Amino acid sequence: MRGMPFTVTTWNINSVRLRIDLVAKFLKATRPDVLCLQETKCPDDAFPLKRFKRLGYEHVALNGQKGYHGVAVVSRIPFDKINKRSFCGKTDSRHIAVTFGEQAKLKDPLTVHNFYVPAGGDEPDVTINPKFEHKLSFLDEMRDCGDYTPKKNERAVLVGDLNVAPLEHDVWSHKALLKIVSHTPIECEKLTAIQKTGKWIDVARALIPEPEKIYTWWSYRAPDWAAANKGRRLDHIWVSEALGGRFSKFKITRDARGWERPSDHVPVTTTMEL
DNA sequence: ATGGTCGGCAACCGA
């Protein structure tokens, strides 16, 4: 049972306008069908649409805002529907989804959800840090709202900067990071709960099981990120049960962290057969 | 144990 190959990339770009040349470099080399961006930091009317069109990505779905956050889906394949959701009663631009169906000549539709989960500040204590409280509430809402619990036989992909490195070998030192936001037990549990509720398959760990270390982010603050290699796996690609066994390749473009004026996150890509 | 660097946008906030 083999259909068309479908490649999707997630990348926290940390300003799409500043790094549009890096995006172009990546797209020319990798040619994913769909690129999901986070932290575009770009109002929709300032998004570099023409550049993406010239690169062959003519179909774009935007949920941007001025200065902060912002997500986008750019695609070579036309989609039928766009959906955006707000969380925790805030206007933050942290989610957008597109559904591929008739226009993509897909008999069975496929929805791609693109998320930018709040980072959560520095202090992992909800009583003194409202940003951490926001992050935990956001994760609870993802679990409970039902929109990210695929139905039986529903084909869905959930990607993004989820800002949580849930497993022991998703960080350079489990012990050193237990009290560091992104790897505290409560966050890891909440992320795992979303995964479990939706029966999502974590593509990275399905193909590269622990104890192999996997990182997608390296801090700007390290003097030599590559030598220190104190990374974390914050960027994820999940697929619904209906797509289980249909994905094959998984790649982290680690080189991108060493490009000129890089994002602190690198592209994460998977290919599946639809 | 601490401070370290980015980007947006024009003083700090968010990461």
Question: Is nucleic acid strand B under 7 Å from A232's C-beta?
Answer: no
Question: Is nucleic acid strand B under 7 Å from A15's C-beta?
Answer: yes
Question: Is nucleic acid strand B under 7 Å from A175's C-beta?
Answer: no
For chain A, the 3-state helix, strand and coil shares in percent, each to the nearest 5, are: 25, 25, 50
- Can you give the distance from the CA of residue A178 to the C1' of nucleotide B4 in angstroms? 20
Q: How high does pLDDT run on average in chain A?
A: 97
* pLDDT value, residue A3: 82
Q: What is the CATH number of the domain that holds A82?
A: 3.60.10.10
- Can you give the distance from the CA of residue A67 to the C1' of nucleotide B7 in angstroms? 9
Nucleotide whose C1' lies closest to the alpha carbon of residue A161: B15
Nucleotide whose C1' lies closest to the alpha carbon of residue A223: B4
Using pLDDT thresholds of 50, 70 and 90, give the confidence band for residue A2. low
- Domain with A12 in it: 5-273
- Can you give the distance from the CA of residue A249 to the C1' of nucleotide B14 in angstroms? 34
Closest CA to the C1' of B15: that residue is A119
Closest CA to the C1' of B8: that residue is A67
Distance CA A87, CA A143 (A): 12
**Chain B bases near protein CB atoms (7 A cut-off):** 3-9, 14-15
Report the number of distinct structural domains present in chain A: 1
Using pLDDT thresholds of 50, 70 and 90, give the confidence band for residue A70. very high
- Can you give the distance from the CA of residue A105 to the C1' of nucleotide B5 in angstroms? 46
Distance CA A240, CA A151 (A): 9
* pLDDT value, residue A1: 52
Closest CA to the C1' of B14: that residue is A68
Distance CA A194, CA A43 (A): 30
Say if pTM beats, i.e. exceeds, 0.85.
Answer: yes
Using one digit for the tens of pLDDT, what is the confidence trace for A75-105? 999 999 999 999 999 999 999 999 999 999 9
Q: Are A229 and A217 in contact (CB under 8 A)?
A: no
